[in-house]
Homo-oligomer: A and B are copies of this chain.
Amino acid sequence: MLRVLVWNEFYHEQTHERAKAIYPHGIHRAIADFLQCDDIQVKTATLEDENCGITKEVLAETDVLIWWGHVRHNLVPNEVVELVRDAVLEGMGMIFLHSAHHSKPFKALLGTSCHLTWRESGDSEVLWVIEPSHPITQGIDRYFTLEHEETYGEPFVIPTPDKLLFIGSFSGGEVFRAGCLFERGNGKIFYFQPGHETFPTFYQAPVQTVIRNAVRFVAPTYRARTGCPHVRKITDEGDYVLKNH
């Protein structure tokens, strides 16, 4: 059984008419609804929950954390960010959606500004598959289209992805590295660009396929805290002392 936690800022869907109409129960519920199945169990948490709904215990029982945020990134406490980062380094899988490119955990894990160019004009987007044999692109043909999305453009200030899976092409002319895979510590991280709050992106079948594939792909095969052991000789496996700095 895969245990997924969908985290959402949950602000626009309570304050912005159009977002509310599209996602009446919040983006987190829309994602949970299509992910839930026989072998995937989904929980949700939002900024409104105590401590963002994220504790060390919660993360210890989470295989994959999905994150959506936009204008309230700064309200996520640094302690929560550290818990999330440590869990990924231990092996928890993580998926960042759309404007979560600017979320604190994404920036903390990648180390860069994660800036990009943007425009809210309702461009259409074609998302092209770069790696047809990758598990995350299975079920998608050469490309899929979204009638409307917020335009994101390059340069996207991220480290070179370990694998580039999708490039998006917007009707206004921009391109964007729309599906990027990173490995950090024992954990896998997938960034996926579609998902603006004023469009019904998360109801589109190909978007659901990609996120479902990604959940299965980033789920850990191995999870352990990597320390900084002091060893007296190479055979000295018992004497692990954490370096105190």
Contact = CB atoms under 8 A, between A and B. Distances in A.
Interface in A84-133: 85, 89, 91, 102, 108-113, 115-119, 121, 126, 128-133
Nearest to A133: B186
A138 B222 contact: yes
A52 interface: no
Interface string A122-152: 0000101111110100100111000000000
Among A108, A223, A228, A244, max chain B CB count under 10 A is at A228
Contacts of A222: 132-133, 138
A133 B91 contact: yes
Nearest to A124: B173
B185 A116 contact: no
B233 A172 contact: yes
Nearest to A169: B175
Q: When A and B form their complex, which 5 residue pairs have the shortest distance between CB atoms, in order from nearest?
A: A133-B186, A115-B228, A173-B234, A111-B111, A133-B222
